[in-house]
């Protein structure tokens, strides 16, 4: 996927997208707006200026688009089912994400606020645990570190080739499990 491109899937009450474009919170809220919903919850994940006491310059995200979209859709469908949601949208930005800009938006609508709160948080945790997105943390004055997109885990320094090999390994595992054709 190149800069300026967006890939997306939409099925019933679920919308997922990977994009290199800036994320727009209002657009995502509007995607889940419904007269049936008494609550809309939005989570916006942003690039912070430090990690582990080191100053962060920027983050770079990459993904295996096809598989990541399918995983995102699976998460959204599970959230709709489990929490009786009206609608859910999950958009992840790829490429370079500067400090204070959003890398992910998750919007959830439901008849009642409790379900929306729970589903929004659970969708984020599932996304971070399962979606095939990798990030490279660029620190001031240092080489970047590639790692899986997980909270709090310190990255392993990898070359670009090692990061690509790790992504290919994930794809091969998905093909073996039958989750990717």
Query: Binding site: residue ranges?
Result: 112-113, 128, 135-137
Given a contact cutoff of 8 angstroms between Cβ atoms, the answer to whether 150 and 43 are in contact is no
Question: Can you say which residues are annotated as belonging to the binding site for substrate?
Answer: 112-113, 128, 135-137
CB 89 within 8 A of CB 29: no
Beta-bridged to residue 139, according to DSSP, are 56
């Amino acid at each position: 996927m190149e800069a300026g491109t967006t890939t997306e899937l939409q099925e019933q009450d679920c919308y997922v997208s990977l994009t290199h474009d800036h994320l727009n919170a209002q657009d995502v809220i509007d995607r889940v707006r419904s007269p049936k919903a008494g609550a809309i919850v939005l989570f916006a994940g942003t690039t912070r200026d430090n990690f582990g006491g080191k100053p962060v310059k920027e983050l770079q995200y990459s993904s295996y688009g096809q598989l990541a979209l399918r995983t995102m859709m699976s998460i959204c469908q599970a959230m709709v089912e489990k929490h009786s949601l009206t609608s859910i949208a999950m958009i992840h930005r790829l490429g370079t994400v500067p400090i204070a800009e959003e890398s992910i938006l998750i919007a959830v609508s439901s008849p009642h606020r409790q379900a929306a709160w729970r589903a929004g948080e659970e969708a984020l945790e599932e996304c971070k645990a399962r979606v095939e997105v990798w990030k490279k943390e660029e620190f001031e004055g240092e080489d970047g570190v590639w790692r899986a997109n997980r909270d709090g885990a310190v990255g392993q320094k990898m070359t670009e080739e090692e990061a690509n090999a790790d992504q290919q390994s994930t794809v091969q595992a998905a093909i073996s499990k039958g989750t990717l054709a």
